């Protein structure tokens, strides 16, 4: 039988952790919408990279020059990451013909990423690289190593938004509309 004196402190810690996580997420969400690279002290030009996609084809970020890019760092073991992927599939389908491109970087092993991509029928390029993806995420401004982490890159190759945490379809559409994607 469980001892209530031992269980209650654990439940209290879980409750406080949950509330704190929610508050931090709300705060970070506001920063994502209001991010202005001109006032940020970080470089606003996207870092270049090349890595193999799940089909073994080397992809370079330059392949998508001239497009609005949603670069998403995710993992199969991250529930918020998996929650936003169906929205990204829909966004790619809906706005791809306007020069919008989602690119997924899995902070995961290739087999797990491939299995999940096939299961949910991801319609955009996925690259899987465990440690290399963490380093790349950091180069794109993810200083705390959070997942999911997304970056919106404008047609000129400049980072226009950094989003720590789950990105909803509604929020993504607001950001894309500012970059002349017709919603």
The whole-number pLDDT of residue 85 equals 98
Residue 38 has pLDDT above 60, yes or no: no
Domain borders along the chain are 35-177
List, in sequence order, every beta strand (DSSP E) within 83-148: 100-106, 126-128
What DSSP string describes 20-82? HHHHHHHHHHHHHHH--TTTSSS--BPPP-EEEBTTS-EEEGGGGTTSEEEEEEE-TT-HHHH
The predicted model gives 89-107 an average pLDDT of: 97
Q: What is the pLDDT of residues 150-165, one digit of tens each?
A: 999 999 999 999 999 9
pTM beyond 0.85: no
Q: Is it true that domain 35-177 has CATH number 3.40.30.10?
A: yes
The whole-number pLDDT of residue 6 equals 62
């Amino acid at each position: 039988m469980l001892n209530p004196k031992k269980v209650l402190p654990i439940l209290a810690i879980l409750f406080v952790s949950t509330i704190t996580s929610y508050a931090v997420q709300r705060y970070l969400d506001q920063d994502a919408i209001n991010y202005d690279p001109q006032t940020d002290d970080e470089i606003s030009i996207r870092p270049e990279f090349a890595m193999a996609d799940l089909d073994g084809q080397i992809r370079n970020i330059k392949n998508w020059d001239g497009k609005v890019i949603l670069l998403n760092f995710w993992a199969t073991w991250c529930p918020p990451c998996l929650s936003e992927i169906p929205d990204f599939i829909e966004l790619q389908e809906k706005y791809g013909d306007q020069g919008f491109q989602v690119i997924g970087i899995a902070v995961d092993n290739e087999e797990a990423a491939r299995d999940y991509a096939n299961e949910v029928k991801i319609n955009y390029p996925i690259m899987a690289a465990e440690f290399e993806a963490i380093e790349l995420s950091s180069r794109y401004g993810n200083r705390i190593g959070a997942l999911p982490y997304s970056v919106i890159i404008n047609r000129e190759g400049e980072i226009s938004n950094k989003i720590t945490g789950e990105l909803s379809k509604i929020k993504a559409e607001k950001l894309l509309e500012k970059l002349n994607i017709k919603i």
